[in-house]
Chain A
Amino acid sequence: MSQQLIHPPALGSTGNVRIGAPKPPVRRRTASSRRERTGALFIAPHMLMLGLFMLVPTVYAVYTSLFATKLIGGRQWVGLENYRTVLHAGEFWSGVVRVLVFGAIQVPLTLAIAFGFAALFDAGVIRGSRFFRTVYFMPFAVPGVVASVMWSFLLLPGFGSYAKALSWLGLGNVDFFSSRLILPTIMLIVIWEWTGYNMTILYTSLKSIPKEVTEAAIMEGASLWRIIVHIKLPMVMPSIVMLAFLNAVGALQLFTEPSILASFQPQAISFGFTPTLFVYHTAVGSGEYELGAAAAVILALIIGAISVAGFAVRRRNGEFR
């Protein structure tokens, strides 16, 4: 998933960040104004790049979205007309609903599996947990494009190894690319890609719980299940909440997997299967750049709203003082 969460998200995916607890600017008299300037110079190159490759393009995209290229008269100012068009496009909204449904199932499922394994590894009841942790994390190094290609071949109706295995087991010819199963199939791929990443972060979180906590619980006769669900789970809840938002933002941007599956089964993936596909097909496919820009702005606003909600929740939980 361009969970680039995804990206990976990506590694945009590692966005598990507490907004820097702003330190009160300690202004020592000894800190000369020259030194202040030096500090600003250290951050200047990055801020320049940030401005040029993030802020300027964003502003320019918003500006572009207010125009339309007409057959007669070329590019014309149309105000918010593009936004009206996108907001009235059933195709766009069906994509939004689809990724919301996708996220509502995939995110909890991924986190449950990830937490389950993290807790078992943390408790030490799995033999060779180091090996398993390394294996589970490996898909993180596999591009979504390659993951989708591999799974497409494995699940190819009639030919794929897994599809064949299912029919040998007497489950009939399951068509993983049918319109009914395409979303669960993409979920399977995304879970394959991201569970290990989530597991690694939760495992690290669990490791920071002092072992006295566990020992005390054992003394009181708590079972492993009880310790995991009633003691450790609440303690790593902040990490889980953070990952939930990260995964959700990745799910909303779903693009890579459906776009690759589309080359195996074009009719299963529609023009606006996900909002990002809608943006891509509108702008690059149909050449309606202004309309695509408007759709991209709306999508960014939806994702931004969810991110802000995430921060609000985490702030309420006492993070980022």
Chain B
Amino acid sequence: MTRTSARGAKAKAGSDQVSPHLYGLRRSTTVVLNLIAVGFAAFVLGPLVWLFFSATKSQAEIYDSFGFWFAGPFRLWHNLSALGQNVSGTGIFVHWLGNTLLYAIGGAVGATILSALAGYGFSRYSFRGANTMFLLVMATLLVPLTAIALPLFLFYSKVGLVNSVWGMILPSMVSPIGIYLMRTFIDASVPKELIEAARLDGASELWIFWRIALPLAFPGLMTVLLISIVAIWNNYFLPLIIFSKASLYPLTVGLSALSQAAETGTKAELVPVLITGGLVTVVPLILLFLVLERYFRGGMLQGSVTG
């Protein structure tokens, strides 16, 4: 694992790539390849562009007008204000947004703290059973999320955690990938000599972790925090199973309830709420991703170097 840094360096050196002219591609081939890339970008962006324009429309215009441009009166603000009302009878969107923020931030901060502690423990200490423990953690990587959701629900109904905020936040703090990333990151970026030197100076173990290891591992912490936020923000199955009260729903479950109400119900004007709600669900994560892209890529790099 300590080889990660060496290989990472190699990956960087490789980025001054071979000049594409050397491949001797015909001009027509290059044009076609570029067009294919544009085509796939259109495939990816299409639904998101549609989502934006549809969020500015009334229900009738959403079905009847051209999907990729404005049509009719500009209703975005009107649609957004409807997110604060219980239009569907299934709950209020703004509450779901608040819940998702609570679950995502609470769970991700917890996951980051636990992963940093455990990653540091695995990386810089040797103690009896460490390897067995690490293998156990890595084995939980293979446990499918959907397989653990129902057991959690059954367990919660025994201990009274059904319809509890903690029932969502606490299991989200268990992040084997977070531990793996932190361990690899600390292996590569916190020199053993530095820790030894601090010990000789009489620093306590906790002080060394807090003042030396954590600052050096900051990019790793960001990566773990971000991937945890995305994972919790997008989690659908666990909250679907453990929450029966609409006031506790996160965005994903709330939107699914809305889509059911919009398609099967008779209430008008539910579709714009569903679509605008979808937009509000997606925008924060896309912004987060665009601004902090390098930290997301940091996680990818770690993953791929070992993969």
Chain B, 119-160, CB within 8 A of any chain A CB = 120-122, 124-131, 133-138, 140-148, 150-155, 158
Q: Are A20 and B125 in contact (CB under 8 A)?
A: no
A204 and B294 alpha carbons, distance in the complex (Å): 13
Q: Report the bound CA distance from A283 to B142 in whole Å.
A: 23
Roughly how many angstroms separate A83 CA and B183 CA in the complex, as a whole number? 40
Q: Please state if B33 and A4 are interface contacts (CB–CB under 8 Å).
A: no
A53 CA / B155 CA spacing, docked (Å):
9
Q: Is B145 in contact with A7, judged by CB distance below 8 angstroms?
A: yes
Q: Which residue of B lies closest to A307 (CB)?
A: B142
A19 within 8 A of B: yes
**Selected contact of A304 from candidates B25, B142, B233, B234, CB within 8 Å:** B142
> Are B121 and A11 in touch, CB under 8 angstroms?
no
Task: Provide the residues of chain A in CB contact with B44, threshold 8 Å.
Answer: 135-136, 138-139, 192, 196
CB atoms of A57 and B231 under 8 A apart: no
* Given A151-B47, A255-B237, CB of A9 within 8 Å of CB of B145: yes
The answer to whether A296 touches B234, judged by C-beta atoms less than 8 angstroms apart, is no
Among residues 249 to 263 in chain A, which have CB atoms less than 8 Å away from a CB atom of chain B? 249, 252-253, 255-256, 259-260, 263
Give the distance in Å from the alpha carbon of A184 to the alpha carbon of B225 in the complex: 35
Of A14, A22, A41, A154, which contacts B135 at CB under 8 A? Answer: A22
B25 touches A224 (CB 8 A): yes
Contact B41 A15 (CB under 8 A): no
Known: A15-B141, A47-B133, A218-B18. A293 touches B150 (CB 8 A): yes
Given contacts A47-B133, A125-B30, A135-B45, whether A143 and B252 have CB atoms under 8 Å apart is yes
B197 on the A face (CB < 8 A): no
Inter-chain contact total with CB atoms closer than 8 Å = 381
Output the residue of B37, B43, B66, B293 with the most chain A CB within 10 A: B37
Q: Is A141 an interface residue (CB 8 A)?
A: yes
Complex interface: chain B residues within 8 A of A52 (CB): 170
In angstroms, Cα B148 to Cα A117, docked, is: 35
A132:B37 contact, CB within 8 angstroms: yes
Majority SS at the chain B contact face: helix
Contact A142 B285, CB 8 Å, known A7-B231, A35-B125, A45-B117: yes
Task: Decide if A69 is an interface residue (CB 8 Å cutoff).
Answer: no
Whether A169 sits at the interface, judged by CB under 8 Å, is no
Most buried by B among A46, A150, A303: A46
A50, B137: Cβ atoms closer than 8 Å: yes
Beta-carbon nearest neighbor of A218 in chain B = B22
Separation of A284 and B146 alpha carbons in the complex (Å)? 13
Cβ contact within 8 Å between A126 and B148: no
Please indicate the chain A residues that have their CB under 8 angstroms from the CB of B22 in the complex. 215, 218
Q: Is the CB of A289 within 8 A of B154?
A: yes
CB of A147 closer than 8 Å to a CB of B: yes
Residues of chain A having any CB pair with chain B under 8 Å? 2, 4, 7-23, 25-27, 31, 35-43, 45-47, 49-50, 52-54, 56-58, 60-61, 64, 113, 117, 120, 122-127, 129, 132, 134-147, 149-154, 159-162, 192, 196, 200-202, 204-205, 207-211, 214-215, 218, 223-224, 227, 238-239, 242-243, 249, 252-253, 255-256, 259-260, 263-264, 266, 276, 279-280, 283-284, 289, 292-293, 296, 299-300, 303-304, 307-308
Q: Which 9 A-B pairs have the closest CB atoms?
A: A39-B125, A42-B121, A161-B67, A61-B151, A11-B231, A300-B147, A57-B151, A141-B285, A57-B155
Q: Can you offer 9 A-B residue contacts whose CB atoms are under 8 A?
A: A43-B121, A126-B34, A136-B40, A146-B255, A146-B282, A207-B15, A208-B10, A210-B13, A296-B146
